[in-house]
Amino acid sequence: MKLNLLVVAGDGIGPEVTNEAISVMRLVMSHGGHELAVTEKRIGGIAIDTDGTPLPADTLQAALASDAVFLGAVGGIKWNALPPNTRPEAGLLQLRASLGGFANLRPAFASKELAVNSPLKPDIIDGADILFVRELLGGLYFGAPREWNKDTGEAWNTMRYTRDEIVRVARIAFQLAQKRRKKVTSVDKANVLEVSQLWRATVTEVAKEFPNVALEHQLVDSMAMLLMTSPRNYDVVLTENLFGDILSDESAVITGSLGMLPSATIGGKVNLYEPIHGSAPDIAGKNIANPLGAILTGALVLRHSAGLEAEAVAIETAVLKVLEAGFRTADLARGNTSFNVLGTTQMGQKVRETLTSQLALT
């Protein structure tokens, strides 16, 4: 197969980690006789500097014409003084809205090798493997009316969902659970909120289409605690927008570093893939950024936009093997001298070497 990938590497460490991810994807795809056709465009601060806008029209056009979009990161101190709607981050929000993805997938995982990076006890998190499916276009962030009335000293937002918005994201959660451990935990606040009662009733209805997947409901407040005390109990966690924002960041603690986590936004015209971290201006240009979140994002591209599951698993396995062998970037080693600390490009190279010997065995 041929995958037409638009790469918008962006600012700060974006280009550094993206380079490593693309070369890992290229290696694994070419081994299987597949072609990765990459087009590169500007987004974020670099686009403001050269094109005067954080999302140039040709970038958006190329995104809509591609099979998938891979984003590094946007933002930086240089552009912080700009008004919010012209800043680098506005370009990313516009891109997300134009691509229309409504299901944001964020894995959180831990293994013996990663457990040392987490402040949580290894025996609690070892083996945790959760996939958050967060609704991205509805709820409190988009609902109207919304206002801050400075005259009266009141402000309000609206948590609104339609049945159809819940059905489409729930179906994605159940479909993904079918390929995993066949359990969906739907999170809401149905003891207090009507919108959560609709959420719970609709998810229960959708579950009937997937009789081989177990469904449980949890209230968001107790779920925040359960994720930290028994993360191994969860497979796919389905949430509305705000609850998912909070719970998926909380669960990043399980994996231990922002630099490890990939994400995918699917369901719209074109899927958008990005490591969850930002442009990390404090470490940009130093060749010390962790590229593993971006490399694991590459695995999600292969899984969700190219149908190359074996290749996606090969990348994920290679990353774990590199960690098992004691290699770390500085954010993961945190001064622990027992690790072999690698820079960004060296870590990318180590993953490619591991993949090459892994693929030679298949």
List residues near ligand NAD by CB under 6 A: 13, 17, 73-76, 89, 92, 258-259, 274, 277-283, 289-290, 293, 331
- Rounded CA gap, 103 and 267, in Å? 6
| Amino acid identity at 130 | I
Of 218 and 297, which CB lies nearer to ligand NAD in the complex structure? 297
Of 109, 235, 262, the closest CA to residue 178 belongs to 235
Active-site residue flag, 282: no
Of 139 and 291, which CB lies nearer to ligand NAD in the complex structure? 291
Of 103 and 206, which CB lies nearer to ligand NAD in the complex structure? 103
Smallest gap, in angstroms, from Cβ of residue 343 to ligand NAD? 11
Active-site residue flag, 188: no
Active-site residue flag, 245: yes
- Rounded CA gap, 301 and 16, in Å? 18
Instruction: Dump strand ranges (E) for 199-354.
Output: 214-219, 236-239, 264-266, 271-273, 327-328, 340-341
Smallest gap, in angstroms, from Cβ of residue 213 to ligand NAD? 31
Which listed residue (141, 182, 183, 321) is catalytic? 141
Decide: 63 and 126 in contact? Cβ < 8 Å.
no
Smallest gap, in angstroms, from Cβ of residue 292 to ligand NAD? 8
Active-site residue flag, 150: no
Smallest gap, in angstroms, from Cβ of residue 279 to ligand NAD? 4
Smallest gap, in angstroms, from Cβ of residue 19 to ligand NAD? 13
Smallest gap, in angstroms, from Cβ of residue 359 to ligand NAD? 25
- Rounded CA gap, 314 and 34, in Å? 15
DSSP letters along 292-316, please? HHHHHHHHHHHHHHS--HHHHHHHH
Q: Which two tokens stand for residue 43?
A: 């987004």
Of 11 and 235, which CB lies nearer to ligand NAD in the complex structure? 11
Of 92 and 319, which CB lies nearer to ligand NAD in the complex structure? 92
Smallest gap, in angstroms, from Cβ of residue 251 to ligand NAD? 16
Of 80 and 357, which CB lies nearer to ligand NAD in the complex structure? 80
Of 21 and 207, which CB lies nearer to ligand NAD in the complex structure? 21
Active-site residue flag, 58: no
The helix/strand/coil state of 336 is: coil
At 59, give phi and psi (nearest 5°): -70, -45
Q: How many CA atoms lie within 13 A of 316 on its CB side?
A: 20
Give, in order, the Cα–Cα distances in Å from 48 to each of 10, 87, 307: 11, 8, 35
Interaxial angle between packed helices 292-305 and 344-361, expressed in degrees from 0 to 180 and rounded to the nearest 10: 40
DSSP letters along 79-99, please? GTTS-GGGSHHHHHHHHHHHH
Which listed residue (41, 161, 188, 189) is catalytic? 189
First to last CA, the chain: 19
Instruction: Please identify every residue annotated as catalytic.
Output: 141, 189, 221, 245, 249
